[in-house]
Amino acid sequence: MRSIGNTGLRVQPIGLGGMPLSIQGRPDERTGRAVIEAFLAGGGNFIDTAISYCFDNTDLGHNERLIAATLKALGRTDVIVATKGGLTRPNGQWDVDCTPGWLRHCCEQSARDLGAPIALYYLHAVDPNVPLAESLGELVKLRDEGTIAAIGLSNVTARHVDEALALTPIAAVQNRCNVLEARDVKSGLVARCGELGIAYVPYSPVGGHWGHRKLAANADVARIAAKHGTSPHAIAIAWLLALGPHVLPIPGASKVASIENSLTAAALTLDTDDLAVLDRLNTPRR
């Protein structure tokens, strides 16, 4: 088990990223439920979602409702669901809106769909048109009112984290990070989160919708996968887990086989030779 920052919440190291179950190309509802059920059957207890994981603005909350309905049908009240607000989906595009009014609207809808308090609520991005303090100020109010229990940041730099910490405790930082795209390892942000007692949640941990094929085609990753008798995806997740005990990868899946395979990464131990090769693919470890 690993901690979500200083929230006191303990979760299995590998979460489920819910996005592929609700955006363009999503599977039918039966398959979506089966993916979530397979994750839970494999011992998972931490699910990542967002109000914006849907087709467009007429469909906001699709992913949260799918998760909530699946958990309800199974009678599972012990699963930690983290969600996010601050994006909109006009005609299926991804736009940022972190005005206090929109954040409150999103958060209150998510609380109705998931149940309050929401264990962890992320600011999905920093809005270039709204001061971070203004967006975060609304989340602080929502926490004080009991709608959310803890605040996270997503798509942020170290400077944003420092600015946010001056205003409120932060439980988690969620940024794009995988063995081929490890900017936050190189910049030291992953390590810094650990020092600050903040969970680091790498999204697109196997490269994302397109990048996971590139990862699978990487000769070094494939060689290490063959050595361990596993998939390149599992190796990539194991590499993230080895960055520190505060790292909680959230692989996405629209197929049961994908999440079943991702969960096997928790049992993998990469040796120093493996880590040296994988580190060199992108960036040296600090």
Ligand X SMILES: NC(=O)c1ccc[n+]([C@@H]2O[C@H](COP(=O)([O-])OP(=O)(O)OC[C@H]3O[C@@H](n4cnc5c(N)ncnc54)[C@H](OP(=O)(O)O)[C@@H]3O)[C@@H](O)[C@H]2O)c1
Cβ neighbours for 54, distance < 8 A, ≥ 6 positions apart: 22, 23, 60, 61, 62, 63, 89
User: Is 22 a binder of ligand X (CB under 6 A)?
Assistant: no
Give the whole-angstrom CA distance, residue 197 versus residue 195. 6
Q: Which is nearer to ligand X, 13 or 17 (CB)?
A: 17
User: Is 83 a binder of ligand X (CB under 6 A)?
Assistant: no
Handedness of CA 106, 64, 81, 129 (dihedral sign): negative
Q: Are strands 80-85 and 16-17 parallel, antiparallel or unpaired?
A: unpaired
**Least Cβ distance, residue 88 to ligand X (angstroms):** 14
- For ligand X, the binding residues in 220-239 under the rule CB under 6 A are 231, 233-234
- Binding residue (CB under 6 A) for ligand X from 183, 214, 255, 285: 255
- Binding residue (CB under 6 A) for ligand X from 103, 136, 253, 270: 253
Contact indicator for 282, 176 with CB cutoff of 8 Å = no
User: Is 45 a binder of ligand X (CB under 6 A)?
Assistant: no
**Least Cβ distance, residue 126 to ligand X (angstroms):** 11
User: Is 13 a binder of ligand X (CB under 6 A)?
Assistant: no
Give the whole-angstrom CA distance, residue 244 versus residue 246. 5
- Binding residue (CB under 6 A) for ligand X from 154, 172, 177, 278: 154
Is 53 catalytic? The answer is: yes
Cβ neighbours for 36, distance < 8 A, ≥ 6 positions apart: 16, 18, 21, 47, 66, 67, 70, 71
Tokens 């958990």 belong to residue = 71
- Binding residue (CB under 6 A) for ligand X from 138, 258, 268, 270: 258
Cβ neighbours for 133, distance < 8 A, ≥ 6 positions apart: 163, 167
User: Is 262 a binder of ligand X (CB under 6 A)?
Assistant: yes
Stretch that binds ligand X, among 6-14, 186-194, 199-207, 266-274 (CB under 6 A): 199-207
**Least Cβ distance, residue 176 to ligand X (angstroms):** 6
Give the whole-angstrom CA distance, residue 42 versus residue 139. 33
**What residues are annotated to the active site?**
53
Which positions lie near ligand X, rule CB under 6 A?
Answer: 17-20, 48, 154-155, 174, 203-209, 212, 231, 233-234, 250-255, 258, 261-262
